[in-house]
Amino acid sequence: ISSLEQIPRAAPDRILGLTEQFARDTRRQKVNLTVGVYKDGWGQVTTFPSVARAQKLIDSDFELNTDLSYLPITGCPEYSSAVLSFLFGESCPQVGPRLLEEGRVSFAQTLSGTGALAVASKLLALFLSRTVWISEPSWPNHQNIFRSNGFTDLRTYPYYQNGRLVVDEWLEKLKTEVRKDPETRHSIILHACCHNPTGLDPTREEWVRILDTVHELGMIPILDMAYQGLESGNPPADAYVLRMALDEKRYKCWPNGLFVCQSFAKNMGLYGERVGSLSVVTPPAKPHVREHVDSQLKQIVRSIYSSPPGYGSRVATMVLSKSFLRMQWYKDVAFMTERLSQVRHNMHNLLKWPGLMNFQQQHGMFYYTGLSPKQVDVLRDKYSIYMTMDGRLSLSGVNDHNIDYVCEALDAVSK
Active site residues: 139, 224, 266
Complex with ligand PLP: residue 114 or 328, whichever CB lies closer: 114
Instruction: Single out the segment in contact with ligand PLP by CB under 6 A; choices: 111-119, 292-300, 322-330, 401-409.
Output: 111-119
Instruction: Choose which of 32, 106, 114, 149 interacts with ligand PLP (CB under 6 A).
Output: 114
Complex with ligand PLP: residue 395 or 409, whichever CB lies closer: 395
Complex with ligand PLP: residue 238 or 383, whichever CB lies closer: 238
Q: Cβ of 11: how many Cβ atoms within 10 Å?
A: 9
Complex with ligand PLP: residue 344 or 392, whichever CB lies closer: 392
β-partners of residue 305 are none
> How far, CA to CA in Å, does 376 sit from each of 123, 229, 243, 413?
38, 29, 38, 8
Residues between 33 and 92 that touch ligand PLP (CB under 6 A): 36
CB of 15 to ligand PLP, least distance (A): 8
Q: DSSP 3-state assignment of 311? A: helix
Residues between 138 and 157 that touch ligand PLP (CB under 6 A): 139
Buried b (16+ CB within 10 A) or exposed e, 144-157: bbbeebebeeebbb
In angstroms, the CA 163 to CA 394 distance is: 18
Q: Cβ of 313: how many Cβ atoms within 10 Å?
A: 27
Contact 110, 278 (CB under 8 A): yes
Nearest to 111 by CA among 73, 63, 143: 73
Contact 84, 100 (CB under 8 A): yes
CB of 305 to ligand PLP, least distance (A): 14
Report how many residues bind ligand PLP under the rule CB under 6 A: 13
Residues between 340 and 359 that touch ligand PLP (CB under 6 A): none
CB of 320 to ligand PLP, least distance (A): 16
Q: Does 221 bind ligand PLP (CB under 6 A)?
A: no
User: What's 26's DSSP letter?
Assistant: -
CB of 131 to ligand PLP, least distance (A): 20
Q: What angle do CA 38, 42, 44 make, to 5 degrees?
A: 45
Q: Does 121 bind ligand PLP (CB under 6 A)?
A: no
Complex with ligand PLP: residue 154 or 403, whichever CB lies closer: 154
407 Cβ neighbours under 8 A, 6+ residues apart: 347, 350, 351
Instruction: Single out the segment in contact with ligand PLP by CB under 6 A; choices: 53-61, 110-118, 284-292, 381-389.
Output: 110-118
Instruction: Choose which of 75, 113, 140, 310 interacts with ligand PLP (CB under 6 A).
Output: 113
Q: Does 224 bind ligand PLP (CB under 6 A)?
A: yes
CB of 48 to ligand PLP, least distance (A): 15
Complex with ligand PLP: residue 143 or 372, whichever CB lies closer: 143
Residues between 260 and 289 that touch ligand PLP (CB under 6 A): 263, 265, 271, 276
Q: Does 112 bind ligand PLP (CB under 6 A)?
A: yes
In angstroms, the CA 129 to CA 124 distance is: 5
* Helix axes 167-180 and 204-216, enclosed angle (nearest 10): 0
CB of 384 to ligand PLP, least distance (A): 23
CB of 36 to ligand PLP, least distance (A): 5
In angstroms, the CA 227 to CA 231 distance is: 8
Residues between 226 and 265 that touch ligand PLP (CB under 6 A): 226, 263, 265
CB of 114 to ligand PLP, least distance (A): 3
Complex with ligand PLP: residue 207 or 251, whichever CB lies closer: 207
> How far, CA to CA in Å, does 69 sit from each of 80, 297, 308, 309, 408?
18, 21, 11, 10, 53
Complex with ligand PLP: residue 16 or 327, whichever CB lies closer: 16
Q: DSSP 3-state assignment of 296? A: helix
In angstroms, the CA 307 to CA 231 distance is: 32
Residues between 175 and 214 that touch ligand PLP (CB under 6 A): 191, 196
**Beta strands 385-386; 31-32: pairing state:** parallel
Please give the residue ranges that form the binding site for ligand PLP (CB under 6 A): 36, 112-114, 139, 191, 196, 224, 226, 263, 265, 271, 276
